[in-house]
Amino acid sequence: MRKFFLLVIVLFYSCNSNKENAYFEDIKENDVALAPPAPGDWLYDRDEKGQSFEKFMKSKHIIPTKEANIIYIKPIGSFTALQTKQIELTREYLQIYFQLDTKILETASNNIIPDHARRIGREEQEQLLAGYILDSVLKKDKPLNRIAVMGLTELDLFPSSSWNYVFGLASYTQKIGVSSIYRLQDEKLTEANFNLCLSRLLKVSSHELGHMFGLAHCIEANCVMNGTNSIPETDEHSIRLCSNCQKKINSGLKYDNKKRLNELATYFERNNLMRELQLMKRDLASTRF
């Protein structure tokens, strides 16, 4: 009887595993190969090796536990009503995207960043040192059951004196990251550019959190985990995780792929993100659920 019971368990997990692998094979047909990088593109002068599924599995990456299962967003700055709306929509998106409870922490003032971690950039804009925010703000913030914390700033970010700016920065080991909305909003966020700017914010925030969950830059397909140097390059990149990156993240989070796709599709439709909606519909149409 015991041997029979063990056989049933083995067959159950084998069937589930085969079903999951079938999903990633099914949606692979929707992956779009990256075009050769042009001057100014992220990969044009970077020799990135990529990250296979096997390499990801051998790496140290976080897996949710009862003690660590909540993603937190930490707003830093003075936000308009439209920006505050986008932060809430980002929270909702990330909760669906990672299938983990996602909460917004109390907004902090820009005054928490000292003068030595600020500068005036090349465009006469104020910038905050991304590394300082990671090490001296987010690293110290330890809300209940946190698995990752992402800061969101309204001021521009820079990673070092030799860089002009950076969209975001994340620490693999500390599970903290920070992104800026400054360059995503075409100088000023309005009702007219709201959806375009929201799409950019969703891409950048899910990209940075993807790093925290162990994903390296993707060089295999047009994917939200592609590196980016500019807003035009960000706009060209897909909001969708390619099949390989989906397989990586699902290996640890173990969410229901059909449930996630349907919830993403509903979110995109409700927020009038039609290009993004079509990507989810293609994946849904390709699968054998």
Which helix (DSSP H) or strand (DSSP E) does residue 146 occupy? strand 146-153
Give the integer Cα–Cα distance in Å for 280 and 268.
Answer: 9
Q: Where are the domains of the chain?
A: 2-286
Q: What is the mean pLDDT of residues 93-121?
A: 97
Catalytic positions, written as ranges: 208
Instruction: Kindly tell me if the per-residue pLDDT of 4 is higher than 50.
Output: no
pLDDT in tens, 115-128: 999 999 999 999 99
Asked which of 1-15, 89-103, 271-285 is least confident by mean pLDDT, the reply is 1-15
pLDDT digits (tens, 9 = 90+) for 60-82: 888 999 999 999 999 999 999 99
pLDDT over 80 at 3, yes or no: no
CATH code that applies to domain 2-286:
3.40.390.10
Q: Which of 118, 175, 181 is nearest to 141 (CA)?
A: 175
- CA dist., res. 285 & res. 289, Å (int): 10
Do 255 and 99 form a contact (C-beta atoms < 8 A)?
Answer: yes
List Cβ neighbours of 219 (8 Å cut-off, separation of 6 or more): 34, 43, 48, 49, 50, 226
Q: Span 207-224, mean pLDDT?
A: 94
Nearest by Cα to 258 from 44, 1, 26, 14: 26
Q: What is the pLDDT of residue 156?
A: 96
